[in-house]
Amino acid sequence: MNTLSIDFKPFVEWDNNPFILFSPQGKILYLNNSAEILLGYVSTKELFDLALAYAPQNFGYKTTALSLRYDAFNFFSITVGYENEEYLSIRFYNAPRIRNSAPVDKEKLSSTDINLLLEANIALFKTKNSNPLQLLTDPDMPHLKIDQNRFSKIVRKALESFRASDSIHIELKLLVGEHVIIEEKRVPIALLSITANGRYIDQDGEIKELSEASNIRSTLGEKTIKLEIPLLQ
């Protein structure tokens, strides 16, 4: 088949794996949609340095298996290559998302106003800490079925990790258009994100464990904790 007449650019453009083309000076000449989002979490310079460090010695392409993490992005491998001295390309391979497999025992879940649980946890946090808190929630968030005790433990531990932070920003919102498949059903997702200038990571293992048991996807960054909560009905 003659592929010369095919325009491959849209395939790269819409590839879920980030792709960037650099000039020898580190200027971005091209980036696809996914790379554009990635650049919200990591600097251009850092990615260019990475490309230089893993570039093959001669013209061609080199794939290296390595574990990279930028906020919610998790990569297991990169390919760096160049065919001339004008362009240097880097492509990141998304690590597969581990599918939640915690069994859902709906009898143990109670219909819950998540805003109420969040407020109670903030009141608890305030009894021990005086850090300034900013809270942004969606008052129209639908009730969800959740193990209230376990979820409270997750929020408590998540907030405690910000106990020495200067200013804590908490946001709860519905992730419009995003779903998670649980027991073969599409379930909408709410995102609880807590951000500050830094945090402790001493309880990350427990946050992860408790979240997995509740089918909550947790992203534990240096300054942010994100919890993707399935809105089970």
Partner 1 sequence: MDTFYTRSPEVEQIIQGLNLTRTLFVSSVLIGEPHTGKKSLVTHLFPDVPVVSGEDQEAVERLLNDSEELIITDFEQLPNKESLDFDNKRIIATANYVGNQKTIDTLFAFIYTMPSLKERPEDLQHLKTLFLKEACRTLMLNDNAFSPDEIPSDITMNSKSLRRAVFYHLMIQQMGEEEIKSALYRYFVEHLEGNNGYKEHLGLYEVPLIKVGLQKYGSQLKLSEVLGINRNTLRKKIHEHAID
**Interface contacts to partner 1, rule CB under 8 A:** 108, 110, 112, 116-117, 119-121, 123-124, 126-128, 147-150, 152-153, 156
Q: Would you say 47 or 147 has its CB closer to partner 1? A: 147
172 by Cβ neighbours in 10 Å (0-12 / 13-18 / 19+) ranks as buried
Q: Under a CB-based contact definition with an 8 Å cutoff, are residues 87 and 80 in contact? A: no
Q: Specify the residue, 62 or 143, whose C-beta has the smaller distance to partner 1.
A: 143
Beta strand spans in 147-199 (E): 168-182, 185-195
What minimum distance in Å lies between the beta carbon of 149 and partner 1?
Answer: 5
State in angstroms the smallest separation of the CB of 211 from partner 1: 14
CB of 200 to partner 1, least distance (A): 15
**134, 172, 217, 122: CA torsion to nearest 10:** 50
Cα gap 140→124, rounded to integer Å = 23
DSSP alpha helix (H) spans, 29-168:
33-38, 44-53, 114-128, 148-160
In whole angstroms, what is the distance from residue 88 CA to residue 82 CA?
Answer: 5
Residue 152 phi, psi dihedral angles, 5° rounding: -60, -40
Helix axes 114-128, 148-160, angle to 10 degrees: 40
Nearer to partner 1, 150 or 173 (CB): 150
> Which residue number, 13 or 113, has a Cβ lying nearer to partner 1?
113
Nearer to partner 1, 155 or 225 (CB): 155
Choice between 123 and 176, CB closer to partner 1 = 123
Beta pairing class for 28-31 and 60-70: unpaired
